[in-house]
Structure 1
Amino acid sequence: MALPPKKTTETHQEKLQRRKDAEEAAMMREVDEAVRQGDLENFGERYGKPLAALVLLLVLALAAYLLWWQPSQRAAAEARSETLVSALDNVEAGNLQTAYDALEELAGDGSDAAAANAQMLRGGIAAQQGRTEDAVAIFDGLANDTAAPEELRNLALIRKVATGFDTMDKAAVVAALQPLAVPGEPFFGSAGELVAMAYLEQGKRSEAGALFAAIAKAEDVPESLRSRSRQMAGVLGVDAIEDVDALLEAQGVGQDPAADGQGAPAAPPAAQPAP
């Protein structure tokens, strides 16, 4: 059986040392708290007023945003939309110059979507009025505005090339639109057709035919453009028809008349012999 451990008897000197250590630890805590309290008071005296002013400024800024800036921005956006709608109404009514002039301020007011749309509309009006150079300049400005939405910039580039196609160098047309004339790109159909036409004028019939065929086979391209491209590819000797039966069915060609319940036309009666 194991014997219980002997209790260590603490000497008088050790007791005094332990008590001294405890008193020193308590005193250090009191000093530390006093220092902290003093630092806090000094910080408050030095920075209290600036901090209070900063908090007040933040509160006032938030109030100004909620009560003035946000409603002001909303009202400005509504006014821009009304300007665009009014211009479209004037275009439909044939008041082209009125619409063109009304959009001038909005078109020059920054590079947001409303301003970009105003520039696009002004370019279209100028083109419709026969002012080709003005239209090309407007579309070119929007196409090169890096702050404008990318979709509108690309559309402006296509409109610029389409408007000035007759006078543009065809190599420049290909260079400008080739990045957009790729299957899967949003403007593949429109850009691809312009590039293919430029190829034709350069004498590159095989490149033009292949691009027309690709447009004809693209399901996300409008049917009118696909049909036109299919015809151009055929003229250039490129087969752009993947499913002949489906194409004929879509065009309503080769249907059986009996399927409509009309049947074949009756044969003419046999001639009667003369008496």
Structure 2
Amino acid sequence: MSQPDSFIEEVSEEVRRDKLFALFRKYGWIGVLLVVLTVGGAAWNEWQKSTRAASAQAFGDAILTALDAETPEARRTAIAGIDATGDKAAIRALLLASDPTEDRAASLAALQALAEDPALPVVYRDLAILRRVILLGAEAPVADRHAALDPIAAPGRPYRPLALEQLAYLLVEEGKKDEAVAALRALTEDQAAPEGLRQRASQMIVALGGETAEG
């Protein structure tokens, strides 16, 4: 390579290097920012996980402490005093409604509040409605119980088989034995229904004088 060519190449290399440094000075902050965001995002996720775990631990400890109270009244008071939102509030409400023999009115009120809270997932609201219908029993008109259970018995709802079972019992209560047997027989063939529920349905069919699918 001639001396002029070598000189031109060195100059070109310097120019490229200067351009690279200039670009880095101008846009290098973007790369730094991406690194900071990546590291910060990972740290934020870890902090959130740690916070959720600590919150769940504190809530569980508070529940266990409340359940250790000596009397039912003290337990209910302690549970009601636990600070909770979202899913934890739903669990707290279900615990408040878990002892209807001691305070039926309070249990019904807790279930009603839970069922009517649109901020909670449907799995909790449906469970509260189902539990409340069962707890009320014949105290509530059959039509009201039908109206409460029908939406829960819709396809895709989490407690559909249990709602269908209760609807079949309402048919028995209304004296519609044949319709009740048909509804219960459908439940015995429903693979989405728990085994225990299918067994209860079969036993009820026999008690009503009907025949199961096997019989």
* RMSD between superposed Cα atoms in Å: 4.2
- Tell me the residue number matched to 2:214: 242
1:73 to 39, 52, 63: 52
- Tell me the residue number matched to 2:116: 141
For the 8 Å contact 2:86–2:119, the answer to whether it is kept is yes
Structure 1 residue runs without a partner (length 5+): 1-22, 244-275
User: Is the counterpart of residue 117 in structure 1 residue 100 in structure 2?
Assistant: no
TM-score, structure 2 normalization: 0.65
For the 8 Å contact 1:87–1:99, the answer to whether it is kept is yes
Partner Cα distance (1:217, 1:62) in 2: 49
User: Is the counterpart of residue 97 in structure 1 residue 73 in structure 2?
Assistant: yes
- Alpha-carbon offset, residue 99 of structure 1: 2.2
TM-score, structure 1 normalization: 0.54
Q: Which amino acid aligns with 1:116?
A: A
Q: Secondary structure at the residue paired with 1:199?
A: helix
Partner Cα distance (2:160, 2:196) in 1: 8
Aligned pair count?
203
Partner Cα distance (2:37, 2:160) in 1: 52
Partner Cα distance (1:127, 1:35) in 2: 85
- Larger helix share, 1 or 2: 2
- Alpha-carbon offset, residue 60 of structure 1: 5.3
Partner Cα distance (2:40, 2:162) in 1: 52
Partner Cα distance (1:59, 1:185) in 2: 41
Q: Secondary structure at the residue paired with 2:98?
A: helix
Against the structure 1 CA distance between its residues 231 and 85, is the aligned structure 2 distance closer, same or farther, given a 3 Å change threshold?
farther
State the identity %: 25
Structure 2 residue runs without a partner (length 5+): none
For the 8 Å contact 1:136–1:160, the answer to whether it is kept is yes
Q: Which amino acid aligns with 2:76?
A: Y
Q: Which amino acid aligns with 1:129?
A: D
- Tell me the residue number matched to 1:176: 148
- Alpha-carbon offset, residue 159 of structure 1: 0.4
Q: Which amino acid aligns with 1:99?
A: R
- Alpha-carbon offset, residue 134 of structure 1: 1.2
Partner Cα distance (1:128, 1:227) in 2: 33
- Aligned residue runs from structure 1 range 145-160, under 5 A: 145-146=119-120, 148=121, 150-160=122-132
Against the structure 1 CA distance between its residues 206 and 37, is the aligned structure 2 distance closer, same or farther, given a 3 Å change threshold?
farther
For the 8 Å contact 1:126–1:135, the answer to whether it is kept is no
